[in-house]
Chain A
């Protein structure tokens, strides 16, 4: 699945070089449920963006589903983002002028799928997150929790092999947070690979495996044998 080998990411800020990731080796297998934790500025988001093929490493090799991503063209990377990755962001990142349904239909457009088929799959995906009654609503007509559920529906509509969520509950209260996490739990038990970045220990507690990042390095990586309920 996800295979990171010696990944570094450096930002050149004028004279100064910021090392966001300092040589990360990491393997995440199919149907794992992983929490990435660590203090602010430790490089969690940078790592997530790399895994999601939104960003590329300065050094190192990233093999996703047996393909070396560094050899892929820009269009091939777009196709990987479209087919392999479902991304959920802290600030939802919904398209502001499009309804919930249209937002969820959007990724399928890049697969050149017929309209009716896209609509059907998008409705199905929204039903899975319990939003069948909000199809025509614009993002600003939805609550934070509902927006994040639309985002999850959009991330999952194309049946990606990996669901990445960067602090998905960061903008939500604890009740809606646990709704979202319940959704992730259910996805995981249906075989979905899930990686979540979080600050909160009780979010991390949902996951089977916890990876701690500090100053761009993995400092801790442990698996629970079974989930505590």
Chain B
């Protein structure tokens, strides 16, 4: 590839002769790639950390939720799940292993020695720990007999302990939830934060107690998580559950579901959807900036071809073919663009790292290598594409007219 090496060297020489101009020309490409790399590195770092936080959620867990459309909100007639929905999952759908309903207890103030907070309070059963794969780190979880006996016991998240200044081992302390006293029997493993929101700010009480604390006319908000015995059957079980619940809710055929059953990792999916949209928007911005950058390169290459008309004439007189000239100018445009891209990648990486470290609790930025390679390749490609017009202009110059050019 001798000819290639020579063309490369010639391109470098001529770029080097106009360093400032080359840098300015390539600014569009530089900014475009820097923006992509910075944003991708932040998003990627974020999604890595979210994926790892959710990775221990079982893949065989499904959850049932009521669905409300805008109409329901307007008419203030919200759909909710009922205890019978829980029973149907528990007793009528085959293939379901464990069922853990979570009943949100509204407006509950939790107090301890004069301090009050309002964490999420929900009632559930002993299956919750297995279904959600979360276990107490101190003490024990709600047991079946707690539930049957409607005992006033509570399992708290670490954030609750910290906020209420409970002792390090909070077991056997008493909390006031609403207007009833609860004995703390355990504290759950720490979940940490997602996007700055603590995942440990909750109090778990027995399901039966949760039900009794709701007013008679209150419509409780409830979600039901359940596990499927055989992961391979998960779709079939989901179908059966859908049909059974439709029946129990007396939905006529053709009427839409007013509930949904989805995989528990749907937050990850949701997040991936958001990053997908962000990536698409970004891709749009980047393609505009690359287009602008490419036009800049085309412009400066056209200027350069005009400036070097005589030189091109000399090369042709010495025996350069169209292809030789074309290659040299294409390579020059590609290199110009690639340099912009490479500088942009470095700036983007630094910006990503800098931004990630400036935002507290933000996961470290991370760029997969293929993104860097793609960015570099793409910027070179832009150079080639926008270099075609100037290069073919150079290649098709008539030798004698080029030599005579003043």
Contacts and interface: CB of A to CB of B under 8 A. Distances in A.
Contacts of A54: 316-317, 399-400, 403
B357 to A, nearest CB: 44
A93 interface: yes
B400 A49 contact: yes
Given A54-B399, A93-B403, A109-B3, A78 B316 contact: yes
B171 interface: no
Interface string A43-62: 00000010010110000000
B314 interface: yes
A112 B320 CA distance: 11
B4 to A, nearest CB: 11
A76 to B, nearest CB: 9
Interface string B298-322: 0000000000001101111111111
A154 B318 CA distance: 9
Interface in A105-150: 106-107, 109-115
B17 interface: yes
A96 B313 CA distance: 13
Given A49-B400, A54-B317, A82-B318, A109 B311 contact: no
B2 interface: yes
Interface string A72-83: 001100110111
Nearest to B320: A110
A97 interface: yes
Contact of B318 (A55, A75, A81, A96): A81
Do most interface residues of chain B lie in helix, strand or loop, or is the interface mixed? Answer: helix
Contacts of B322: 74-75, 78
Contacts of B319: 78-79, 81-83, 107, 110-111, 158
Interface in B315-334: 315-324
A87 interface: yes
A95 interface: yes
A112 to B, nearest CB: 6
Contacts of B162: none
A116 B261 CA distance: 73
Contacts of B324: 110
Interface residues of B, number: 24
B14 A106 contact: no
B17 A109 contact: no
Given A95-B314, A96-B311, A106-B315, A74 B17 contact: no
B48 interface: no
Contacts of A78: 316, 319-322
Contacts of A161: none
Contacts of B316: 54, 78, 81
A98 B315 CA distance: 12
Given A78-B320, A81-B319, A109 B6 contact: yes
B341 to A, nearest CB: 25
Contacts of A87: 317
A65 to B, nearest CB: 15
A4 B60 CA distance: 90
Nearest to A52: B317
B13 interface: yes
A74 B318 contact: no
Interface string B6-38: 100000011001000000000000000000000
B2 A55 contact: no
A171 to B, nearest CB: 15
Nearest to A81: B319
Given A93-B403, A98-B13, A112-B3, A74 B311 contact: no
A2 to B, nearest CB: 17
From B6, B317, B323, residue with most partner A Cβ within 10 Å = B317
Nearest to B17: A97
Counting chain B CB atoms within 10 Å of each CB, the highest count among A97, A109, A110 belongs to A109
Contacts of A107: 318-319
A110 B7 CA distance: 11
Contacts of A158: 319
Contacts of A110: 318-321, 324
A100 to B, nearest CB: 15
B13 A97 contact: yes
B318 A97 contact: no
B17 to A, nearest CB: 6
Interface string A157-193: 0100000000000000000000000000000000000
Interface string A23-54: 00000000000000000000000000100101
Most buried by A among B310, B321, B322: B321
B223 to A, nearest CB: 73
A112 B2 contact: yes
A158 to B, nearest CB: 8
Q: Would you list the 9 A-B pairs with minimal beta carbon distance, nearest first?
A: A82-B319, A107-B318, A110-B319, A78-B321, A55-B400, A54-B400, A81-B319, A54-B399, A93-B314
19 contacts: A52-B317, A55-B400, A75-B321, A75-B322, A78-B322, A81-B317, A81-B319, A82-B318, A82-B319, A87-B317, A96-B311, A97-B17, A106-B315, A109-B2, A110-B319, A110-B321, A110-B324, A154-B318, A158-B319
Given A81-B399, A112-B3, 18 more contacts: A49-B400, A54-B316, A54-B317, A54-B403, A55-B399, A74-B322, A75-B321, A78-B319, A83-B319, A93-B313, A93-B314, A93-B403, A94-B314, A109-B6, A110-B319, A112-B2, A113-B2, A114-B2
